[in-house]
Structure 1
Amino acid sequence: MPELLQLKSLDLTKLVRPGDTVMWGQANAEPLPLTQALMEQRHGIGQFTVVLGIDKSGTCKVEHADCVNFVAYCGAGGNRDLVQAGVLDILPIHYSSFAQGLASGALPIDVLMLQVAPADANGRYSLSIACEYLLHCIDTARLVIAEVNQQAPWTFGERTLGEDDLDIIVHTDRPPLEISAINARESDQRIARHIAGIVEDGATLQMGIGAIPDAVLGALAGHRDLGVHSGSLGDSVARLMENGAINNRRKSIDRGVSIGGTLMGSRLLHDFAHNNRAIELRSTQYTHDAAVLASIDRFVAINSAVEVDLTGQVNSEIAAGNYVGAVGGAVDFIRGAHLSKGGLPIIALPSTAGNHSRIVARIAGPVTLARSDAGIIVTEFGIADLRGLSVKERIVKMLDISHPDHRAGLQSQLAQIHAWG
């Protein structure tokens, strides 16, 4: 039986050991009272490591690095402050490999902190807002501490938890964290319309996080029989499910159900997902599995990038010298879309950032997605389908979707490219 503790008397100095590695759910899934207590009590614990996902709370601050070693698979959200201060170490790893490492013990987690929904009539707890990589640590962590949040949505998924899965329980009653929608710019809307024009009714969608994926979903409101199989689900998925555009009726697998790893939206999404059997949260080893993705017909992967070069190499990690993105799941999903019957492997990005072109002659950051994996690149100026094209053919297509003000400059740099052919 788990030990039941009051939040005000939670003494983590007796539970977390020096040298431990601690993990919790990312974004809205963060068990905020537990993580705040951990940071407040860090001096009583000693030096330990925290493995972060996307941070939306700002709980982990630069000054906490006096006792905490911060590691993350991404530089998104509040992690950017840690990156800029030089106190965040990055795991440059595919999302699928991240999950495999946690499951195998290659990335050992000592203490797992969860936010779960209250137990049902059978005494089973729901993982609520996130399943994804957390599921892989439940059986391997030395200590599992659960915040049972009265306001956390009950979601269906791969596994529910019993009391024998939990070591410590702390009851709370608070609104979960929320992610507000990002207003799409005109360029984002134009990109969305381009993508919507090539997505067929009956397609199954995966979308990354941000303004462009949200805009794409908005542009698909008139489509029918769409499905979802994605790492994250946002408010736009709930809206399209409500209006009937997404019903998962024609999916090759998981028919009738939107599959995701985590909920990344507002209360609108949390309320919609609560006790809704049409949404199911699964582990990363399922959502990002190559064989699973290949088995989904008309699988459309829509992901963003920092920059793309004229041959199709993609940098999704570093902008202006700062780590702002991730390797993440983009490569998993893009490869899955290549293998899918009728699949569309899409990278979407605005053509410029300020005065700088995001279509470049020579990539400035790391190559997150190799040109051998390149598929369809979309900017507000059009679509470049690079599949089956030679380097010279790709250059022509990529120039056509670059910003007109930068095309002459890119053409003048073509001498750099000829060595890549």
Structure 2
Amino acid sequence: MDLYEHQGKELLRQYGIETLEGIVATTPDEARDAAEKLGGTVAVKAQVLTGGRGKAGGIKVVKSPDEARDAAEQILGMDIRGHTVRRVLVEAGAAIASEMYLSITVDRTAKKPLILFSTEGGVDIEEVAEKSPESIVRLHVDPLVGLLPYQARELRFSASLSGDVAKGVGKVLGNLYEAFTGADASLVEINPLVATEDGRVLALDAKVTVDNSSLYRHKEIADLHDVEAADPQEQRAQEAGLQYVKLDGDVGILGNGAGLVMSTLDVVAQAGGTPANFLDVGGGADAEKISAALDIVTSNPEVKSVLFNIFGGITRGDEVARGLMTAIERSKIELPIVVRLDGTNAEEGRRILAENTPPNVHTEETMLEAAKRAVELGRG
């Protein structure tokens, strides 16, 4: 679950990380009042769950309340990478001496938290990695031990920091690691982390992603979920108890088991197609759940064909076939559907499908054959 900037900053403040004063506004007049209250130069910043706001014109620095109102009027309603701006953060200005980058994420290969720090902040870390990789400091943290003082010193030394800035960065790093572990986050990022002319080190931005599986432990964070901003397919899947992630392709994918679905994504790519989604219906899914899954996948207008990959383990193939037939009848889907059914009673299941399903449903015995068929049918 991603947090908006103003929500992320509130979380960071709870862990002792200093930010600039800011006020959320949903109308141009509210933005004007916020700027008047803050006084001086302010930044009007679009609140969306994506990056690239600055390049898209979603951040404007203004010098008066009236200019803040005009800026908010331009930003509200703007589309930034498919996200509509419905609120802005009006934030006080600061005399910035330098900009840095600091983040903590999960390195799944090393199975440890990974700290990334650079003295080149304010731009995408990917851009920094490409142009000057030597400026990025990388540190792994043993999750069983936690962040140790020598690691903070190593980071400051590697980045050639000194004086008040070094002390400030060290303090922020310690607090950020506490936020990362305390909120069960998969990413906490401050870009830029700035040093001001009066010696303060504070977060000028905040990007926080919390592991969805931990939200039952963090009701206060779960309550921040913005239903209106959520992808409609992902929201429907969550309500139906389905694991769904929207992707950019045109081959809709359903399967029973996360590992099987991940393999299906790879096989579709191998067959020359592009997956439109990840959707795991789980083991023992009944006709009602399969019908809901099909509706969710096909409600994406980009989907041109559907690949249903089922392995009958505890659930027998003939039972899956009957449930799938019922689901297809309920859904009345006209798109081509390719079914790969294997495992227990798979032959019986394929026979049932071949004899009883409408002409837009096709069966295949192997994953690769099914993927090739789905890609081919999707291209018309």
TM-score relative to the length of structure 2: 0.28
- Bigger Rg, which one: 2
Q: Quick check: which one's helix share is greater?
A: 2
TM-score relative to the length of structure 1: 0.26
Q: Quick check: which one's strand share is greater?
A: 2
